[in-house]
């Protein structure tokens, strides 16, 4: 997606060979017009897949996911990184390792927001090692539902997540694919 790649180059900051800061438009301050364009792109790619719900992981995936859900006129479900006291009833849980935080967390889905008939689109802000997206897919499949596809805003293609997701047979669609990061350098897959 050309608009997104341009914003990454203009405002993104490569802090190291693995860390890209895009907090000025994606995950601290959010540009709603860009999120709308992202939602449009995901809608156009996934529109004929029979999707019934769109899932994301709290919290940085919420903005692009809500815009996609709004445009596809579908419910959006946020997977929680911890089971809160107000999350009642049956839940599905799986352990996920966060590349960003360097720690594990329990990804949680309330059973009341998924059925065996659901065909789920998973959207997330970043793809690095694939742990978060694959954790979300595990929850969907544990509930007996189907993963229609995985949409990623920014993929770090030089890390193993892309290959891990593809090896599982999921339809992966990433809007910006980064081939290399170094302090002060951002390159995209050509």
Contacts of 111 (CB under 8 A, 6+ apart): 89, 90, 91, 92, 143
Domain extent, residue 131, equals 35-177
Q: What is the pLDDT of residue 118?
A: 98
27 in any annotated domain: no
78 in any annotated domain: yes
The pLDDT tens digits along the chain (190 residues) read 999 999 999 999 999 999 999 999 999 999 999 999 999 999 999 999 999 999 999 989 999 999 999 999 999 999 998 766 566 679 999 999 887 778 899 999 999 999 999 999 999 999 999 999 999 999 999 999 999 999 999 999 999 999 999 999 999 999 999 999 999 899 999 8
Q: Is residue 134 annotated as involved in ligand binding?
A: no
25 in any annotated domain: no
Q: Is residue 135 annotated as involved in ligand binding?
A: no
Q: Is residue 131 annotated as involved in ligand binding?
A: yes
14 in any annotated domain: no
Q: Is residue 101 annotated as involved in ligand binding?
A: no
73 in any annotated domain: yes
Q: Is residue 156 annotated as involved in ligand binding?
A: yes
Residue 153 Cα distances to 81, 88, 93, 98, 131, angstroms: 19, 31, 24, 17, 15
83 in any annotated domain: yes
Q: What is the pLDDT of residue 87?
A: 61
- Residue 83: enclosing H or E segment and its boundaries? none
Q: What is the pLDDT of residue 82?
A: 73
Q: Is residue 58 annotated as involved in ligand binding?
A: no
What's the rounded Cα separation, in Å, for the pair 72 and 40?
Answer: 9
187 in any annotated domain: no
Provide the number of structural domains found in the chain.
1
Backbone φ and ψ for 92, nearest 5 degrees, come out as -105, 140
Tell me the pTM.
Answer: 0.95
Q: Which residue has the tokens 């594990």?
A: 104
2: helix, strand or coil: helix
- Residue 184: Cβ-neighbour burial (10 angstroms; 0-12, 13-18, 19+): exposed
Q: Is residue 119 annotated as involved in ligand binding?
A: no
Q: Is residue 27 annotated as involved in ligand binding?
A: yes
**Domain with 172 in it: what CATH number?**
3.40.50.2020
84 in any annotated domain: yes
Q: Which two tokens stand for residue 183?
A: 């302090």
């Amino acid at each position: 997606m050309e608009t997104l790649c341009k914003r990454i180059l203009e405002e993104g900051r490569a802090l190291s060979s693995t860390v890209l800061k895009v907090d000025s438009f994606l995950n601290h301050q959010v540009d709603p017009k860009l999120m709308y364009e992202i939602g449009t792109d995901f809608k156009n790619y996934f529109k004929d897949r029979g999707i019934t719900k769109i899932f994301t992981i709290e919290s940085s995936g919420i903005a692009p996911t809500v815009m996609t859900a709004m445009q596809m006129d579908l419910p959006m479900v946020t997977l929680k990184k911890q089971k809160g006291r107000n999350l009642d009833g049956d839940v599905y849980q799986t352990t996920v390792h966060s590349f960003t935080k360097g720690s594990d967390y329990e990804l949680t889905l309330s059973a009341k927001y998924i059925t065996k008939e659901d065909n789920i689109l998973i959207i997330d802000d970043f793809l690095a090692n694939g742990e978060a997206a694959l954790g979300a897919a595990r929850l969907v499949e544990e509930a007996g539902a189907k993963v229609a596809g995985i949409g990623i805003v920014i993929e770090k293609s030089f890390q193993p997540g892309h290959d891990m997701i593809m090896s599982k047979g999921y339809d992966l669609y990433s809007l910006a694919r980064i081939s290399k990061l170094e302090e002060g350098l951002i390159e995209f897959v050509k």
